[in-house]
């Protein structure tokens, strides 16, 4: 099978916002407890944070981490997580039917972020609470001192403010499962009032309003239109969420979900333009895709806890998807889509970072390791920064339930002018055929191949485990050639590849 691509230096989409490679940690399952925090672990630092997890996170160069939820935030009192640990209350978390010790709160999370070299994206509770909670939390985090909440922060051991700039106005408020669920008008008015109050404190904050929990919601896309009509001048981003599933074990349809993702983004981008035109506004609003990942492997095993049949356990194993090689391809496709839609998607968060639908897994008292999906996320985060190229692609394709034509070749290209490197991320969706691909580099000087990585496996169900951590892992590629400005590369069936070219 043949495919051709034109990569012209002058044909670009947008500068990629580094924050599209963000992540997410919620007080859910073992994401926090036994994920990042395990004081008894042999690698734990003075703050009780697992050193082995810290090293795996550092490698990813995560620009920021969204916290503390997620569904959890919609009934969360942030004040429960400050002050002496032995005086913090245990609360029942209605979202996941578990108990929360509050051993980790804003101070501990902020210290962990500083250790791994990332920033915070904080969410305020607009489910069970509202404007007061938001403005008090903001004052606690960002005011230097001399007020009630800032002085309480200082008393609790943090003199300097954290100056958090990125804030979510609630979470998935369109969802009936959400504590404090509201309709679009109710939420839009509350979000606008909260945003106004927060901007009275600091006009430079970046605020994210809740969009649809997924594109199958009955309120989509009217939800976005209504919320934006209330909030447009007061926010900077509207959030979207999407999880990828393959219950039917149909790989072709599964790997075509990136086509549905692209339409989702396109629809909300059009909605933003519509509201902007209707309001005759010069203000710009972008998309924050602040929850995305594969999530379906663990659903059945989670039911007993989520349905309340096991009481209120603390930090049980929940949403612990064990990712296989097939999921490598899906995650790579999602990341390629975000690169190609970097004109409108400025923020994205893989959900989540450790143990809970995550690229990193841990055992209590034991090892931490990279799941299969760690690798496409790693390569995109490290090498997918720069300007997204508007590639011209010709590839055979197939019909799926998500699109009339799903190309077998999926490719994204990034030009980092500062380093003089063009990086291509390529995926072959075909089950049995190799795709011989020619990429014409136009407007670039004659280059050399710096790095070529390949991920393939004979078994789509292959996984990494604590005892077999490298079962699915990248290897050095072979056979890629750059001759007279054309990169030639062969993509084996069901494969993920990254090629970096010095130009």
Active site residues: 172, 291
Specify whether the CB–CB gap between 66 and 24 falls below 8 A: yes
Contacts of 477 (CB under 8 A, 6+ apart): 452, 453, 454, 489, 497, 499
Q: Retrieve residue 399's tokens.
A: 């019909």
**Cβ-count burial of 10 within 10 angstroms (0-12 exposed, 13-18 middle, 19+ buried)?**
exposed
DSSP 354: B
Q: Retrieve residue 182's tokens.
A: 């509201």
Backbone angles phi, psi at 206, to 5 degrees: -105, 125
**Cβ-count burial of 42 within 10 angstroms (0-12 exposed, 13-18 middle, 19+ buried)?**
exposed
Specify whether the CB–CB gap between 113 and 60 falls below 8 A: no
* Spatial distance between the Cα atoms of 34 and 126, rounded to a whole number of angstroms: 28
* Spatial distance between the Cα atoms of 33 and 73, rounded to a whole number of angstroms: 17
End-to-end Cα separation, the chain, in angstroms: 28
- Beta-sheet pairing, 64-67 with 206-209: unpaired
Specify whether the CB–CB gap between 143 and 149 falls below 8 A: yes
DSSP 136: H
Angle CA 483–456–319, to nearest 5: 135
Give the closest residue to 174 by CA, choosing from 122, 206, 209: 209
Specify whether the CB–CB gap between 477 and 428 falls below 8 A: no
* Spatial distance between the Cα atoms of 99 and 106, rounded to a whole number of angstroms: 18
* Spatial distance between the Cα atoms of 279 and 85, rounded to a whole number of angstroms: 49
* Spatial distance between the Cα atoms of 333 and 445, rounded to a whole number of angstroms: 29
* Spatial distance between the Cα atoms of 187 and 175, rounded to a whole number of angstroms: 11
């Amino acid at each position: 099978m043949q495919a051709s691509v034109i990569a012209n230096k002058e044909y670009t989409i947008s500068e990629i916002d580094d924050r599209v490679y963000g992540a997410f940690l919620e007080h859910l399952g073992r994401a926090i407890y036994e994920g990042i925090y395990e004081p008894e672990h042999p690698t734990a630092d003075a703050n009780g944070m697992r050193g082995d997890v810290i090293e795996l996170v550092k490698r990813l160069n995560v620009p920021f981490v969204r916290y503390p939820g997620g569904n959890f935030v919609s009934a969360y009192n942030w004040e429960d997580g400050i002050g002496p640990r032995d005086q913090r209350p245990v609360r029942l978390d209605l979202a996941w039917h578990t108990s929360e010790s509050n051993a980790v709160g804003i101070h501990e999370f902020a210290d962990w972020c500083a250790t791994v070299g990332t920033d915070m994206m904080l969410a305020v509770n607009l489910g069970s609470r509202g404007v007061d909670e938001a403005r008090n939390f903001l004052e606690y985090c960002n005011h230097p001192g001399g007020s009630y909440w800032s002085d309480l922060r200082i008393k609790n051991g943090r003199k300097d403010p954290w100056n958090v700039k990125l804030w979510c106005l609630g979470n998935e408020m369109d969802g009936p499962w959400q504590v404090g669920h509201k309709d679009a008008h109710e939420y839009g008015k509350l979000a606008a009032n909260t945003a106004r109050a927060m901007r009275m404190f600091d006009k430079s904050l970046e605020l994210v309003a809740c969009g649809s929990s997924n594109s199958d919601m009955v309120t989509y896309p009217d939800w976005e239109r209504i919320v934006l009509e209330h909030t447009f001048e007061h926010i900077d981003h509207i959030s979207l969420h999407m999880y990828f599933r393959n219950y039917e074990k149909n790989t072709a349809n599964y790997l075509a979900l990136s086509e549905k993702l692209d339409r989702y983004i396109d629809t909300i981008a059009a909605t933003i333009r519509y509201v902007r035109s209707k309001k005759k506004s010069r203000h710009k609003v972008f998309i924050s895709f602040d929850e995305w990942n594969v999530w379906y492997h663990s659903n059945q095993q989670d039911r007993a806890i989520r349905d309340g049949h096991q009481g209120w356990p603390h930090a049980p194993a929940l949403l612990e998807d064990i990712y296989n090689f097939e999921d490598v391809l899906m995650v790579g496709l999602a990341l390629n889509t975000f690169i190609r839609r970097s004109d409108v998607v400025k923020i994205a968060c893989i959900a989540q970072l450790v143990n809970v639908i995550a690229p990193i897994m841990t055992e209590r008292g034991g090892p931490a390791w990279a799941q299969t999906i760690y690798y496409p996320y790693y390569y995109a985060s490290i090498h997918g920064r720069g300007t997204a190229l508007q590639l011209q692609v010709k590839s055979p394709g197939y019909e799926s339930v998500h699109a009339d034509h799903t190309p077998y070749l999926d490719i994204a290209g990034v030009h980092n002018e500062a380093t003089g490197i063009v990086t291509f991320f390529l995926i072959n969706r075909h089950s049995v055929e190799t795709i011989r691909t020619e990429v014409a580099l136009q407007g670039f000087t004659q280059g050399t191949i710096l790095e070529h990585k390949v991920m393939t496996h004979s078994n789509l169900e292959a996984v990494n485990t604590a005892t077999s951590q490298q079962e699915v892992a990248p290897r050095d590629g072979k056979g890629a050639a750059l001759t007279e400005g054309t990169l030639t590369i062969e993509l084996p069936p069901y494969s993920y590849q990254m090629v970096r070219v010095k130009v």
